[in-house]
Each structure stands twice: as C-alpha cells, then as structure tokens.
Structure 1
C-alpha cells in the first residue's frame, strides 16, 4: 500500500537528490571541501503518524535502522517526528505535534513537492523517499553527503523533576556562511508501545523508537569558523513517564535557507538522572 498523501504546495516530485537548493547550498568552495573530508553521520528523519495505516511498517524499518540491522557503509542517526494531520481519522497520536507538521511542510517546500504524506523519510535535509520502501531508503542513505560531525560535550542536569537541562559546548567543525544555520537539539525516546483502539490502526499494538518528544534550538550561528567554540543550554520540559535510560539527544546543524543538515551528533541521557 502506498503512502497517505495530502495536497500541499510547491512543484511536483517524489524524490529530490540534486535540486536547485543543493546547488545553492554547496556552491561555496569551503562547504564542498568540508563534504570531501566529511566523516560524520547521516541524519535520517521519519515523518509518520499512529493515525496512518501505512506508517507502522516504516516505524519498524526505522527501528531496525537505528539499532544497526543493516550493513550500511555510513553511520546514521535516526529521528522520528510524529505529525498531527491524521488525528481527525479517529485516533489522536499521543506523540504527534503541530510543530513537527510545520517541520515537514518546510521540507515539502524546500524539496519542491506538491504533497505532504506519511510515512516520509528525509535524509540530510536534502533527499526524501517513502518511509516503507526499504531498498530506495537504503540507496538514498548510501548516496547522501557526509560532513564533519560536531564535537560538543554535553552536561545533563535535573534542576527539577519536570525539567531536563542540557548544556553543550564545542565546535560545529563546519564553516557557516552568511546564510546562517540553527543548532537544534532533539530529545528522543525509545521503546514506546501503544494500544490503538481507534482509527486506521484499530486493534494494533504500535511500537515506536527514536520518537522526538521535544525539539529546541540551542542557538543561531552565522559567519562562523569551524573551530569557533559555541556553548549554550536548553531546557526540556519532561513528560510524566520520562525514563532517562530510554532517552537520548541529537544535536544537528541545519542551514536556514535550504534546510540542509551539516553535521549531527548523538548522546545517551545518563541513567542516573
């Protein structure tokens, strides 16, 4: 069964690997040089919903990717963003957020698509495919560019039972030009199991890993050298069932204009928090 689609905006196309934004983002010689010596991970983002009948298969594929079931030549980081535009079908996704719908729409525009759909995978912010098409997904990851990963150090604290505080300090290891970029921090959770009594997945037990529970901006940077030290703190409001051993954070650098990803780094949340 194919993906669930909603008519959206932009120009048509189901796969974007070398669109005009790629040219604009990589025209700077310094960025090209960073790509040539890139040793970092590839960020794989899944946009899905528990209210979408075709999403569970993609969720299983993402779980397998994240735990290393495939013999990939490139290291990857997986993040799952649950959108909210299928909630009207009878089941409100407990992990869905309008913020993640907005994030997906930004990719729809930058990739020049005319539809928004689930399950959709976006790789390095610059190529996409249907999330449950395994062969195409693995090929898209294999052809993705790599950049140096940031080398941040992370300090975790619990100032209150309702808050996780993460302080980061280090270098992005990428030259950031006048277009600027945001350093984003995602807090994700593994091992989520949901009994679904309504909607298109009625009666199913849904398993989700790498689910983004919170997404915050550490800072915005512009005209920054690869070795410039950057530091900042984000505060994540926590949910009632938060368990640190099931969670991790991902730091990634995302260009403002193209939404391309220029480096990602992952940390486990300490068990004793």
Structure 2
C-alpha cells in the first residue's frame, strides 16, 4: 500500500527587507506585512528559574502578550544542568552546542538558563517578560518563505516532510541554511530530584528534532527549492501535540525568515 500523504501550507509573511546575506524581493510581497519572529528559549528542567520562563513561553503561544507580529516559538532544553540531581528528559548536548554558538556570536561571557534569543541576533533573560516583549516588538522582520509541506510516514517510527517553495529573499555568496524543527507541546513531568524537586513541570514548544533541509548560495528570491527531511519518532508520538517550524539562518546566526506548519491530526 502506498504511504498516505498530508499536505499543508505554512504561514506567510510579507514586506521588510533583509540585511546581511539576504535581500527581500519586494515585487512578490504584500505591502505593509512581514513574516513572524523566531523566539528560541534555552532552558532546563534542572534550572530553578527555568519553569517561570517556560510559563512565559507558553503564554506567548497562547497570545497573552501584546505583540506587533506573529512569532515562531522553539524551546531547546540543554544538558549542562543534568549533574545537579535531575537529568532533563528533553535535554540534549546538541542544543547546548547551539546555545554556545549564540553565546559566541552575541559576544557573551557564559552560558545561562533561561535565555531567549530573538531572530538570532538579540537576547534576554527568559523570565523577564518586559524585556522579552520589547525584544520581539523591536525585531527586524523578513518575508516568510512560501514552502508547501507534504507529510508521509514511511514507517511507524519515522516522519518525512517533502518541502517545495521559495525563500522570497535573495541569497548572496555567504549563503544560508534552511532548518526544520519538530517540536512538541503539552509535556508534563513530575520532578522528584534536583533544583525543582517536588514540582510538576509543564513544557511547550520543546524541540525534539532539528534537521537541515539544504544550504543555499547565490539564488534569487523566486527560485524554487525542493527537499526532504526525515525525523525518527519517539514512543507516544501524538501529531496533535506537535508542530513543525522552518527558518532560514545565515552563518552568522541571523534568521531571515520563517514558517510554521501544523501536523495533520490523523498522521
């Protein structure tokens, strides 16, 4: 039997021009609009102050704050607090490496949680609501790519996304990486040890997998890009709790556009 296909279109943005390695194609944009802002939180269940920041992130997702634009939210759980008595079940050294790259590019002295990075170029403490909202509202926005996603399950333990679309921004010789994240919402954990001993921890937008769709250099804003990414799935995978985010990131870590996709309920 041929695998079932599920296709959806991500959110679309418009207007503002890019700086650095990309330039917006204003001829294809809808005046007065631009795409969402990417908000990445680096967190840990082993950090006493991270639960408050996780609540802020969940409230952002619910629309509790007055923002001037849509957002794409991603929570990366790091592993460097695992020695404190509680090993974060969602923690990964891969996400610690990602945060270290931001620490270097932002000129910071050290890693810390909870940290929020906005569009790859601004940061603040994750539980500082005012600073976070200000960083989001002040962020430079870029056109959303126009990718269409087709979902298949080649096996019960894997999810495949086939993507076709355009970046809507010109890419120069510095190039960009097109990244695709699979995240999960509504996670609840009883924490019997560590800094958050005795607490029930709630986490949303937890990145489970991050893959590179492609690297692009010297292409026009309208060039069609096609590629496929595959994600191994975990026990208890529930598509209704998950989502996919696509974002375009330069070698200097600046983010130049993003989309989000809902997974089909029956996948």
- TM-score > 0.5, shorter chain as reference: yes
Instruction: Determine if contact 2:21/2:171 at 8 Å carries over to the other structure.
Output: no
Q: State the 1:66 CA deviation.
A: 1.2
Of 164, 167, 173 in structure 2, the residue corresponding to residue 172 of structure 1 is: 167
Within-5 A mapping of 1:1-273? 26=19, 30=23, 39-256=34-251, 258-273=252-267
RMSD: 1.9
Answer yes or no: is the 8 Å Cα contact 1:37–1:148 preserved in 2: no
Q: Stretches of 4+ moved more than 3 A in 1?
A: 27-38
The verdict on how the C-alpha distance between 1:240 and 1:174 changes in structure 2, with shifts beyond 3 A counting, is same
Once the two structures are superposed, residues 104-153 of structure 1 have per-residue CA deviations (whole angstroms, 9 ceiling, x without a partner) of 00000100101110000000000000000000110111100000001100
Per-residue deviation, 1:68: 1.1
Structure ranking higher on relative contact order (CA contacts 8 Å, 6+ apart)? 2
Query: Which consecutive residues of structure 2, in runs of 5 or more, have no partner in the other structure?
Result: 1-17
Aligned residues: 248
Assess, with a 3 A threshold, how the Cα gap between structure 1 residues 180 and 52 changes in structure 2: closer, same or farther. same
Tell me if the contact between 2:34 and 2:142 (Cα under 8 Å) persists in the aligned partners.
yes
User: 1:29 Cα shift?
Assistant: 8.8
Higher helix share: 1
Q: Tell me which residue corresponds to 1:4.
A: none
Matched residues in 2 for 1:221 and 1:55: separation?
35
Q: Distance in 2 between matches of 1:37 and 1:27?
A: 22
| Deviation of 1:249 (Å) | 0.2
> Is residue 66–residue 78 contact of structure 1 (8 Å, CA) maintained in 2?
yes
**Does the Cα contact within 8 Å between 1:38 and 1:147 map onto a contact in 2?**
no
What SS is found at the alignment partner of 2:45?
coil
Deviation of residue 57 (structure 1)?
0.3
Q: CA deviation at 1:30?
A: 3.4
Distance (whole Å) between structure 1 residues aligned to residue 220 and residue 32 of structure 2? 16
* Length-normalised TM-score, structure 2: 0.89
Cα distance in 1 for partners of 2:232, 2:222 equals 31
Q: Deviations over 1:227-261 (max 9, x none)?
A: 000010001000001000000100000001x1000
Change over 3 Å in CA distance of 1:113–1:210 after alignment to 2: same
| Runs (5+) with no aligned partner, structure 1 | 1-24
Conserved 8 A contact 2:25-2:169: no
In structure 1, the partner of 2:9 is none
Contact preservation (8 Å) 1:180, 1:255? yes
Q: What is the CA-CA distance between 1:26 and the residue it aligns to?
A: 2.8
How many Å separate the matches in 1 of 2:173 and 2:265? 40
> 2:21 touches 2:174 (CA, 8 Å); kept in 1?
no
